[in-house]
Amino acid sequence: MWFEILGDVTNVETIAAGRSIRELNRLTKIYGKGRWRKLKGMALVKLPSSEIIGAELHWYEAHGLGRKEIKIKKFLERKL
């Protein structure tokens, strides 16, 4: 990841699960079988420029495999 997540991810919501995930075949091929879900949440992130900012994150997750492919979907507010 090109950014660092500071603290916990809050307001976690499931966007899609199982066959509703467009990338399901690719995820299974790369990371293995699991109950895949696409999730979103809010967190403070530290950018390479050392700027700390709130962001909406999206990622894929499967039990036993953890979070994969975390990305910043949008920035929320300037913190520091």
Position 63 confidence tier, pLDDT thresholds 50, 70, 90: very high
**Alpha-carbon span 8 to 5, nearest angstrom:** 8
Position 78 confidence tier, pLDDT thresholds 50, 70, 90: low
Question: Is pLDDT above 80 for 45?
Answer: yes
Q: Are 27 and 64 in contact (CB under 8 A)?
A: no
Under DSSP, is residue 49 helix (H, G, I), strand (E, B) or coil?
Answer: coil
pLDDT of residue 79: 54
Quick one: what percent of the chain has pLDDT higher than 90?
A: 91
pLDDT of residue 2: 87
What is the rounded average pLDDT for all residues in the chain? 93
User: What is the average pLDDT across 9-28?
Assistant: 95
